Structure 1
Amino acid sequence: MTKALLAIHVLAAIITIGPVTVAASMFPAATRSALAVPQGDRDLATLRVLHRICRVYAVIGIVVPVFGLATAGSLHVLGNAWLITSIVLTALAAAVLVLVIQPYQDRIMAGLGASSTDAGSAGSLDSRLPARLAGYTGMFNLLWVTVTVLMIVRPGSTTGA
C-alpha cells in the first residue's frame, strides 16, 4: 500500500506542481511581452491560458499533500524534522500561490482588460507588477525546489535514502 501511495504522491506532484510552476513562471514574461508589443487577442489569449493553468492546477494540486501525508503515515515518519519542514514549506508555497501570485495575475489581467469584468485597460496597469510577480514566482519556485530536495535527501531518515 505504501508503494501505491508514494507512486500517486509523486505522480500527482509531477502532473500538478510542474504545470503551475511553469505557467506561473511564464506569466510575467508574457505580460511584459504584451505590454511591449501588443498583439491584441493573441497576447491576451496566452495570458488567459497561463492564468487558468495556475488557478486550476492550484486547486487539483491539493492531491499532492493529501497523498504525501498518507504516505508519511504509512512509513511512520510524520514526526521527522525533514517532513515537518517540507509540510511547512509546502504550506508557504501554497500561500504564495493563492495569496500573492494569483491576485497579482488577477490585477494584471484586469489592467489589460482581459478579465471577465474588463476592469481596465493596459494604460491603467502598473508597469512594476510583472517584475514584482516574477520575484514572487521565483520565491514560489525556490520553495518547491527545497521541498523536492528534502523529499529526495530526507536528512536523518532511516528509510534507506
Structure 2
Amino acid sequence: MTKFLLSLHVLAAIIAVGPVTVAASMFPPSARKALAEPGSERAVAAVRLLHRICRVYGGVGIAVPVLGFATAMSMGVLNDAWLIVSMLLTALAAMVLLALVLPRQEEILAGIGGTATDSGGTGGTGGTTLDAGTITVDARATARLAMFTGVFNLLWAAVTVLMIVRPGSTTGA
C-alpha cells in the first residue's frame, strides 16, 4: 500500500505542481508582452490561459499534501524532521500561491483588459501603464509577480530535495 500511495503522491506532484510552476513562471513575461502590444487579443488570451492553468492546477495540487500525508502515515515517518520541514514549506508555498501569486495575476489581467496609455517613462514606471479604473499595471507589477513566483518555485524545489534526500531518515534514500 505504501508504494501505491507514494506513486500517487509523486504523480500528483508532477501532474499538478509542475504545470503551476511553469505557467506561473511564464505569466510575467507574457504579461509584459501583452503590455507592449496593447491591442493584441492573442497576447491577452495567452495571459488568461496561464492564469487559468495556475488556478486549476493549484486547486488540483491539494492532492499532493493529502497523498503525502497518507504516505507518511503508512511509512511511519510523520515525526521525522525532514517531513515536518517539508510540510511547513508546502504550506508556505500554498500561501504564497494563494496570497501573492494568484491575486497579482488577477490584478494584472484586469489591468491588461483596460485602455493603454504610454507613460513615456514618467513617474518611474519605465514602460507602458494600463489603467482600468483604479488598476494600474506597469513593468514593476510584473517584476514583483516574477519575484513572488520565484519564491513559490524555490519553495517547491526545496520540498523536492527534502523528499529525495530525507536527511536523518532511517528509511534510506
Q: Is the structural similarity TM-score above 0.5?
A: yes
Given that 1:110 and 1:121 are in contact with CA atoms closer than 8 Å, whether structure 2 keeps it comes out as no
The Cα shift of 1:38 comes to 3.6
Secondary structure at the counterpart of residue 155 of structure 1: coil
Match of 2:149 in 1: 137
Secondary structure at the counterpart of residue 137 of structure 2: coil
Q: Deviations over 1:61-95 (max 9, x none)?
A: 00000000000000000000000000000000000
Confirm whether residue 121 of structure 1 aligns to residue 115 of structure 2: yes
**5+ residue gaps, structure 1:** 114-119
Match of 2:168 in 1: 156
Identity across the alignment (%): 64
Which is further off, 70-79 or 28-37? 28-37
Give the letter aligned to residue 156 of structure 1: G
Match of 1:116 in 2: none
CA distance in 2: counterparts of 1:158 and 1:39, whole angstroms: 59
RMSD value over aligned CA atoms?
1.0
Match of 2:45 in 1: 45
Confirm whether residue 96 of structure 1 aligns to residue 96 of structure 2: yes
Q: TM-score, normalised by structure 1?
A: 0.93
Q: Deviations over 1:24-50 (max 9, x none)?
A: 000000011111234511011101110
Q: TM-score, normalised by structure 2?
A: 0.87
Match of 1:87 in 2: 87
Match of 2:16 in 1: 16
Give the letter aligned to residue 115 of structure 2: S
Which is further off, 121-130 or 27-36? 121-130
Identify the structure with the greater strand proportion: 2
Give the letter aligned to residue 172 of structure 2: G
Structure 1 or 2, whichever has the larger Rg, is 2
Match of 1:3 in 2: 3
